[in-house]
Amino acid sequence: MRITAACPDTLAGSANALAALVGQSEADALTYSVPNYQDADGAVYRVASFVARPTWVLQLLTAQSLPADALPRPDWDDGQIDLDAASQALAAISIGPSAAATDRIQAVIHDDPAEALAILGLTPIPVQY
Amino acid sequence: MAISALFTGGQAGIWYDPNDLSTLFQDTAGTVPVTAAGQSVALMRDKSGNGNHASQATSSKRPVLTWDSSLGRYYLNFDGVDDWLKTVDGASNSATQSLAVYGYWTIFSGWVSTFPATATVHQSPWADFGLFSLNPTNGIQARLGSTATNLYPTSLGVGSAPAYVTQYHTSDGALYINTTKWSIAGPSGSVAYPTPVPFILGANVVGSECLDLRLYGLVLLGRNMTTGERSSVYTDLTTLSSTGTASGSVSITGAASGQAKAAGQGSGSVSITGGAQGGAQVQGQASGGVSIAGAAQGGASAQGQGAGSVPISGQASGQAKASGQGAGAVTVFGAGTATVTGGPSAGLGAVAIQCRVRRLSIPARVHRLTIPCLWRAK
């Protein structure tokens, strides 16, 4: 399944910590690296879209109930990942067909990322050339 | 001329071929190969010989290998949200004079992307080579440095176009859509890069404005292409190509105008059905069958040891050719030409020709020859 997640700018650090925790390498700490979308009110978001197995989503939801110090570090991590920040991001995740909001990380499951962005109510931030 | 010929003598440039799975890997180190559709691509190797491989370290930003059943080939699916690939620094400096992209892109809303944006888009002085900025108002926007020209009205298919090839030359600002030169010229001139810059595929320098793109192939060359080269690149990019061992089948159905080709040991069958105008070719040991059915105008050939059958049926006007030891049957139904060649121990199979045939050449032993209709030999 494809997941498109909108992270408000204020939660980017936490979301990147979580992305590194569940990712494949330290490079996944750059998942929410660019403020690239905005909502109708002009609030800025960092959006990532990726393919994941359903079991991965279940594991993520299960981890929401774990305390920060119980989150398992990946093998490649030597203590760089901020588990408290990752735990904060986990608590802020909401999965479902809802609009993006500045107080949570809204994740929409949809095969078409363009449709997911429409559900999130986001448009690309124009760049002046 | 093959695309590879463009890069002889150390010619700078880039060539990506997502349909060649041997160039794709699931990790940036290139140790885990991509083997099937649905897998994300962390590394795509450059086939030009220049080492301009494109990679993406962040998992969520990787394009996904996808199978196009209608075209019978793979492409890289850039999701239009955050997917992009990047070469090492310096790849763009000497390889930005001519570009050919076999792509299929869609625009959903707003300003979407710059393609292929380069590392200097947001730097001063302007020195980028972002050829194809896409937006629903202006369509394709050709860009050279700080100068941009809108070239491609959306009415011509942005948002709904099938796969097509675009090529752009910086010497004269000429844009080519498939084989047609677009009436409006883009900016022209040279590109002066202040520093070695990479080539970024699918996004701008900071990773935003990502492109919703199906990438079937891409060629950049460090000089402008000649007319003949441009035509050849178009043909090659639209040719179905699969190489290596145990290649699968390749088929074109419908109003296809491309070519189908399978090369390597154990190649599978190649078939063109419908209003095809291209050619079908199988090369290598133990090649499979090649068939063209319908209003085909192209040729069909199988070469190598143990070549399979080569039938052309319907309103075919092309050539059927089988060469090599142990070549199989060659059958032409319609106004075609049949050629069978082989060595002294060829042991060729049957040749059957029905209806008018302009020429028949059989220089080796043939076990059975059937000519049931009018035949005019040369």
Q: Determine the residue among A50, A56, A115, A122 to mutate to test chain B binding: the one whose Cβ has the most chain B Cβ atoms within 10 Å.
A: A50
Contact B286, B266 (CB under 8 A): yes
Question: Nearest Cα to B44, choosing from B68, B73, B69, B74?
Answer: B74
Measured between beta carbons, the chain A residues lying within 8 angstroms of B208 are 34-36, 124-125, 127
What tokens were used for B131? 């050829």
- Considering only the beta carbons, identify the residue of B83, B111, B207 that sits closest to A124: B111
How many whole angstroms from its chain centre is CA A75? 21
Average pLDDT over residues B323-349: 42
- Mean pLDDT is highest, among A119-128, B89-98, B256-265, B339-348, for A119-128
- Considering only the beta carbons, identify the residue of B81, B108, B109 that sits closest to A4: B81
**Shortest Cα–Cα distance, A67 to chain B (Å):** 25
Q: Per the CB < 8 Å rule, is B110 touching A123?
A: yes
**What ipTM does the predicted assembly reach?**
0.91
Tell me which residues of chain A have a C-beta less than 8 Å from any C-beta of chain B.
2, 4, 19, 23-25, 27-28, 30-31, 33-36, 47-51, 113-114, 117-118, 123-127, 129
pLDDT at B300 over 70: no
Average pLDDT over residues B137-150: 60
The pLDDT value recorded for residue A67 is 85
Average pLDDT over residues B159-188: 67
- Considering only the beta carbons, identify the residue of B59, B133, B146 that sits closest to A23: B59
Measured between beta carbons, the chain A residues lying within 8 angstroms of B38 are 51
Q: Per the CB < 8 Å rule, is B207 touching A33?
A: yes
Q: Per the CB < 8 Å rule, is B82 touching A19?
A: no
- Mean pLDDT is highest, among A37-51, B291-305, B309-323, for A37-51
Q: Can you tell me the distance from the alpha carbon of B295 to that of B253, in angstroms, rounded to the nearest whole number?
A: 11
Q: Can you tell me the distance from the alpha carbon of B21 to that of B50, in angstroms, rounded to the nearest whole number?
A: 19
The pLDDT value recorded for residue A43 is 97
Measured between beta carbons, the chain B residues lying within 8 angstroms of A51 are 38, 40, 64
The pLDDT tens digits for B179-213 are 777 777 776 765 555 566 677 777 766 777 777 77
Measured between beta carbons, the chain B residues lying within 8 angstroms of A118 are 108-109
Q: Per the CB < 8 Å rule, is A50 touching B60?
A: yes
- DSSP conformation class of B168: E
Q: Which of B55-59, B134-138, B186-190 has the lowest mean pLDDT?
A: B134-138
Q: Can you tell me the distance from the alpha carbon of A23 to that of A70, in angstroms, rounded to the nearest whole number?
A: 17
The better pLDDT of the pair B271, B244 is held by: B271
Question: Nearest Cα to B62, choosing from A22, A51, A32?
Answer: A51
Contact B237, B215 (CB under 8 A): no
pLDDT at B305 over 50: no
The pLDDT value recorded for residue B191 is 54
Whole-prediction pTM value? 0.68
